[in-house]
Amino acid sequence: MLTKCLITYPRWYRNLSAAVLDAFSSILDKKQFANKGIEISPEFGFRFRTGEGEELPLTALSSGEQQEVVLLYELLFRVEPGALVLIDEPETSLHVAWKNEFLDDLSRIVRSRGIQVLLATHSPDIIGAHWDWVVDLWEISQ
Here the CATH number for the domain that contains residue 46 is 3.40.50
Beta pairing partners, 47: 39
pLDDT tens digits, one per residue of 25-49:
788 777 777 778 788 777 777 788 8
Residue 71 lies in a domain: yes
Reply yes or no on whether the pLDDT at 118 is more than 90. yes
Reply yes or no on whether the pLDDT at 127 is more than 50. yes
Reply yes or no on whether the pLDDT at 137 is more than 70. yes
Residue 77 lies in a domain: yes
Domains in the chain, number: 1
Q: Which domain holds residue 39?
A: 2-133
Whether 96 contacts 85, CB under 8 Å = no
pLDDT tier at 13 (50, 70, 90 boundaries)? low
pTM equals 0.77
Work out the percent of the chain whose per-residue pLDDT is above 90.
33
Q: Report pLDDT for 123.
A: 93
Residue 140 lies in a domain: no
Residue 142 lies in a domain: no
Reply yes or no on whether the pLDDT at 86 is more than 90. yes
| N-to-C CA span, the chain | 41
